[in-house]
Amino acid sequence: MLTRRILRIKAYQVLYASRARNEVEAKAVITDFNRNIEEFEQMYFFLLKFPSYFDSYLDSEKQIELEKYFPNKEKLREASVLNNTAFIEEVDKSEILHSKTSKSTFRWNNFGELFNKVFKSIKQEPFFIDYLVFEERSISQQKEFLIQLFGYLFESNEDFIQEMKGVYLDWDNDVFVHYRLLKKSIEDTSAEKGLVLSDIFVNREDDYSFAKQLLQITMKDRDVYDQMMHDYSQNWDPERISKTDIILMQMAITEFLHFPLIPLKVTINEYLDIAKEFSTPKSHTFINGILDKIKVQLSASGKIVKEGRGLKDH
């Protein structure tokens, strides 16, 4: 699911893009964020359909083998690995999933070459070989196989990874979130409940409100925040400081001032961790120093109001 950490990263990304375009309207930034979230959800639905389309590809391979004068029984068995998989059946008959993906730009129809490469490589994997041992597979065995399949594709299959990077720019940032969503859907789906779609948010209303407010206020007050950073940075020169560092500090100050339920320490640690991932090696030290000075000044002037015991100091 989209945790607050991931929402902060996505907010940072749209703010960075808006700065590159010299965007000044918060409305445009919110539109970009909404598009990013919609694309994330469509990617989840796209991945849900992978086993079904892969199974169809394997059926075509099986038919080719059957047309031979002496079909190879082992090849037929390998190509039948996903036949009668209950989860695939629920995916195929889900009207909700069909409705949600009817206008999606993500399509598996043109990935025949990828399916071929995946099939060739997966046949060598221990989890695939072990699964073929069973003549009849229980629902739990089917689910475990699908979870292992996605884990293998996401972590180890370079052909699959590179193709996904080509269609989804945030693949590296979001891949393990997608894995958890898929795992939960596979585990929760049943004949009784049908296909269970995981909510991409922990708490949709609260989390979306958090991200939207974070973006709107940061856009509105970023010039004020820049002045604060100028006051507490020696030799301040916006042209020489990473744009990432500037944006992350702006977002942190927004949280200091406008999110009374988020502890100061949590805010600082979150943006330091994001800086380690997206900025220069020394950025987190620089950001920590500036934010600490700003935090002290804002606290002393009474501008930081945190609700709950210990939130102001921690």
**Mean pLDDT for the stretch of residues 142-164:** 97
Task: Tell me the pLDDT band of 233, cut-offs 50, 70 and 90.
Answer: confident
Mean pLDDT for the chain overall: 93
Task: Tell me the pLDDT band of 126, cut-offs 50, 70 and 90.
Answer: very high
**Mean pLDDT for the stretch of residues 166-177:** 95
Task: Tell me the pLDDT band of 17, cut-offs 50, 70 and 90.
Answer: very high
190 phi/psi in degrees, rounded to 5:
-155, 170
**Mean pLDDT for the stretch of residues 72-88:** 95
Cα–Cα distance for residue pair 107/120, rounded to 1 Å: 22
- Residue 25 pLDDT: 86
Asked if the structure places residue 60 within a domain, the reply is yes
Asked if the structure places residue 36 within a domain, the reply is no
**CB hemisphere CA count around 176 (13 angstroms):** 4
Domain containing residue 217: CATH number: 1.10.940.10
Are 182 and 55 part of one and the same domain? yes
Are 221 and 173 part of one and the same domain? no
Are 218 and 268 part of one and the same domain? yes
Does residue 313 have a pLDDT over 80?
no
Share of the chain above pLDDT 70, in %: 96
Cα–Cα distance for residue pair 217/220, rounded to 1 Å: 5
Domain count, the chain: 2
Asked if the structure places residue 8 within a domain, the reply is no
- Which of residues 123, 154, 188 is at a domain's end? 188
- Residue 306 pLDDT: 82
Does residue 311 have a pLDDT over 60?
no
Are 127 and 234 part of one and the same domain? no
Residues 6+ apart with CB under 8 A from 142: 85, 86, 87
Cα–Cα distance for residue pair 225/239, rounded to 1 Å: 16
290 phi/psi in degrees, rounded to 5:
-65, -45
| 201 closest CA partner among 3, 43, 40 | 3
- Residue 96 pLDDT: 96
Are 60 and 179 part of one and the same domain? yes
Are 62 and 102 part of one and the same domain? yes
Are 118 and 177 part of one and the same domain? yes
Domain that includes residue 109, residue range = 49-188
